[in-house]
Amino acid sequence: MTTPAQTKLFARPRIALERRQDGAVVLRSEEPLGAHERSIAHVVRRRAEQHPERMLATQPDGRAITFGEAQAQADAVAQSLLDLGLSAERPLMVLSGNSIEHLVVMLACFTAGVPVMPVSVAYSLMSKDHERIRALAALCSPGLVWAEDAEQFGPALGALEETVPRAPTFAELASCTPGPAVDQALDAVGPDTVAKLLFTSGSTGAPKAVINTHRMLCSNQQMLLQTWPFLADEPPVLVDWLPWSHTFGGNHNVNQVLVHGGTLHIDDGKPVPALFGHTLAALREHPPTVYYNVPAGYALLVPELERDPDFAATFFSRLRFVFYAAAALPQALWDRLRAVTPDHIPLTASWGTTETAPGATTAHFTSARCGCIGVPIPGVTLKLAPVGDKLEMRVSGPNITPGYLGDAAATAAAFDDEGFYRTGDAGRLVDEDDPNQGLMFDGRLAEDFKLSNGTFVRVGALKGALVSASGGVLSDAVIAGHDQPYAAALAWVNADEAERVCGGEGEPLRTHLAGALARLNEGAGSAKRIERLLVLDEPASMDAGEITDKGYVNQRAVLERRVELVARLYAEPADPDVIMPAS
């Protein structure tokens, strides 16, 4: 039964559907997009005037900042940036994790009309050669590079010292007295002003610099408000680790707090066992009103919610919904999350890309099931275009990027002849006769392949099924088998879950995974079976492009880099380390 709170929580989807003769399906919301702010800088200034004492952000070391304080500091830093010669053509490169200082610097860039280009921390701290940082600097020509901790980011700064001047410290930037130039710069900021340069994950090639305008950011927040109307009356409280170098954390979440006058408790944890304790501590201290995470985060959170009822009670105490995005949530993990979540709290999901700012669809209804990414949000038109035997999701609307900085060819290739952005993701309707039931994510077009018998393997679905069949023992996997007689997998083990589920690694793990393969394959056709599996000891490598800052595994890069391991999967006789289905 739908409760009154849920009625107010989600707007009712009203989706129009058009079927074309070429097989394309066009979906759009019948709800017109409402008015929105001209820039995020103007939003923050208005919020600072309305409630200067309201808490904007905190961080685990006890530091905190109000909207009023953030605006004052941002104006000071904006004056410094203008004095240092930064401009629309000379952006600020940021090498820092999420922090109050980083937030203020970002707001200062918005105010001054200077594009901010936050770079994945992993490119600085996990890289040995810093080639990606140098390539991004060459592409975007930043006027300065700023790092909150010059010692921690010393090697990365050193890699740039011959090409990009180092910015002063935050204290030096914030010591400037704002003058008329700041107001003049803000007056010149409008919807088409470039707010950010964000970089694609590199999952399908080298990262590209995605232009993010203020129109994109502001319209997208208005779109989301019209699907989640409660935000107008309930300023959101977030506990969030998601990196600001990525659109999920840096646009979707941070901008939601700024636009709706909420509070962001910066979580210095990560969805890895060594750091997840920080996340649990933050959630105990600051129960969120909405919670956003990626599947890797929920894989660690769910066991804690199952194990500790007191923690679960605190976590859910004022939660409006549980939200996941950025990657597919395995069915088994969805089931466990649903079982531990109170009935009145929906599980919901969304879909979008760096190029869509990021929201394009969202499941703003309480009946969403695992894998459903919802419906187009107001202002977005979504076209399902036939590509082979799949339907590619293509998007148009005010939240779509104008293109990639310095790459006219990539920009031209990214849009079809109607101006729809080609996402490379596939989708399908849950119900062909009722578009309000939403879309199911149907994988990445570039990842799928054919077996030697001509059968297509849907990599995303098969990987999700494998991880689910393992009971959470496998944290991730890549699927091999192009032009081979069967599909096989390289996979990584979640050691904590292996200990819990099957008593540890070694023979108990092999026995458990052999059984998981047997269960997965039972009654399945060749495209839905995995005949061999090899557990990887070496983590995915950032330098080699195998993993992104949010934990995406780059399927193509792993298979290309570990070609010898792929060969072991198909060796005859079978390699002794390869796991096969239990008989």
Q: Tens-digit pLDDT profile for the chain (583 aa)?
A: 334 444 489 999 999 999 999 999 999 999 999 999 999 999 999 999 999 999 999 999 999 999 999 999 999 999 999 999 999 999 999 999 999 999 999 999 999 999 999 998 888 887 778 888 999 999 999 999 999 999 999 999 999 999 999 999 999 999 999 999 999 999 999 999 999 999 986 555 568 999 999 999 999 999 999 999 999 999 999 999 999 999 999 999 999 999 999 999 999 998 888 899 999 999 999 999 999 998 889 989 999 999 999 999 999 999 999 999 867 788 888 999 999 999 999 999 999 999 999 999 999 988 788 889 999 999 999 999 999 888 999 999 999 999 999 999 999 999 999 999 999 999 999 999 999 999 999 888 888 888 988 888 989 889 989 999 999 899 889 999 998 999 999 999 988 889 889 988 899 999 999 999 999 999 999 999 999 999 999 887 755 667 554 446 778 889 989 999 999 999 999 999 999 999 8
Cα–Cα distance for residue pair 510/516, rounded to 1 Å: 10
The model carries a pTM of 0.87
CATH number at residue 464: 3.30.300.30
Assess whether the previous peptide bond of 576 is cis (omega < 30° from 0).
Answer: no
- B/e letters for 365-391, b = 16+ CB within 10 Å, e = fewer, are bbebebbbbbbbbbbbbbbbbeeeebb
Cα–Cα distance for residue pair 304/75, rounded to 1 Å: 42
Report the side by side order of strands in the sheet with 194-199.
Answer: 144-146, 92-94, 116-118, 194-199, 209-213
Instruction: Enter the tokens of residue 215.
Output: 């129109």
Please state, as a whole number, how many other Cβ atoms lie within 10 Å of the Cβ of residue 214. 25
Cα–Cα distance for residue pair 283/120, rounded to 1 Å: 24
Question: Is the separation of the CB atoms in 474 and 338 below 8 Å?
Answer: no
Question: Is the separation of the CB atoms in 119 and 152 below 8 Å?
Answer: no
Question: Is the separation of the CB atoms in 445 and 517 below 8 Å?
Answer: no
Cα–Cα distance for residue pair 454/514, rounded to 1 Å: 26
User: Across the strands, what pairs with 19?
Assistant: 25
Give domain status of residue 394, yes or no. Answer: no
Q: Return the pLDDT at 180.
A: 98
Question: Is the separation of the CB atoms in 157 and 150 below 8 Å?
Answer: yes
Question: Is the separation of the CB atoms in 381 and 32 below 8 Å?
Answer: no
Distance of CA 218 to the CA centre of its chain: 18
- B/e letters for 477-502, b = 16+ CB within 10 Å, e = fewer, are bbbbbeebebbbbbbbbbebbbeebb
Angle (CA) 129 133 137, round 5°? 140
Helix axes of 180-188 and 100-112: crossing angle, nearest 10 degrees:
70
Chosen domain end from 150, 168, 189 = 189
Give domain status of residue 21, yes or no. Answer: no
Q: Find the domain containing 159 and state its range.
A: 67-189
Place of tokens 């940036």: 81
Angle (CA) 164 165 170, round 5°? 120
Give domain status of residue 304, yes or no. Answer: no
Question: Is the separation of the CB atoms in 528 and 465 below 8 Å?
Answer: yes
Cβ contacts of residue 311 below 8 Å, gap of 6+? Answer: 280, 283, 284, 304, 305
CATH number at residue 87: 3.40.50.980
- Among 90, 106, 110, 86, smallest CA distance to 98 is for 106
Give domain status of residue 350, yes or no. Answer: no
Give domain status of residue 526, yes or no. Answer: yes
Assess whether the previous peptide bond of 165 is cis (omega < 30° from 0).
Answer: no
Chosen domain end from 136, 154, 189 = 189
| CA atoms lying within 13 Å on the CB side of residue 514 | 13
Give domain status of residue 574, yes or no. Answer: no
Quick one: CA dihedral 569, 573, 579, 581, positive or negative? positive
Q: How far is CA 517 from CA 58, 193, 398, 559, in A?
A: 45, 52, 45, 21
Question: Is the separation of the CB atoms in 112 and 82 below 8 Å?
Answer: yes
Give domain status of residue 85, yes or no. Answer: yes
Provide the number of structural domains found in the chain.
Answer: 2
Cα–Cα distance for residue pair 506/509, rounded to 1 Å: 5
Query: What is the 8-class DSSP label of residue 252?
Result: I
Give domain status of residue 500, yes or no. Answer: yes
Cβ contacts of residue 564 below 8 Å, gap of 6+? Answer: none
Chosen domain end from 174, 189, 204 = 189
